[in-house]
Amino acid sequence: MSATGPRSAHTEGKNYICITRKTPLGAYLRRCKDLILKDGFKSLHLSAMGAAIPHLVTLSTSLPSILPHSAEEIHTEIQTGTVEVQDEVIPEDDDDEDISYRTRGKSTLMVVIKIGDGVDEVIHVTGRGKAKTKFVAPPGAQPKPGKGKQKAGLPETTEREQVVVRAEDVEDMEE
- The CA distances from residue 110 to 33, 82, 87, 153, in Å, are 18, 11, 23, 29
pLDDT in tens, 63-85: 999 999 998 999 999 999 999 99
- Specify which residues 168 forms β-bridges with: none
- CB crowding 35-49: b at 16 or more within 10 Å, else e: bbeebbbbbbbbbbb
- The pLDDT of residue 108 is 97
Q: Which stretches of the chain are assigned E, i.e. beta strand?
A: 16-18, 43-49, 74-89, 100-115, 120-125, 131-136
- Arithmetic mean of pLDDT, 7-14: 64
- Arithmetic mean of pLDDT, 54-71: 94
Res. 128: pLDDT tops 60 = no
Q: What is the pTM of this model?
A: 0.62
CATH of 16-139+159-174, one of 3.30.70.260, 3.30.110.20, 3.40.50.300, 3.30.1490.190: 3.30.110.20
Percent of the chain exceeding pLDDT 70 equals 60
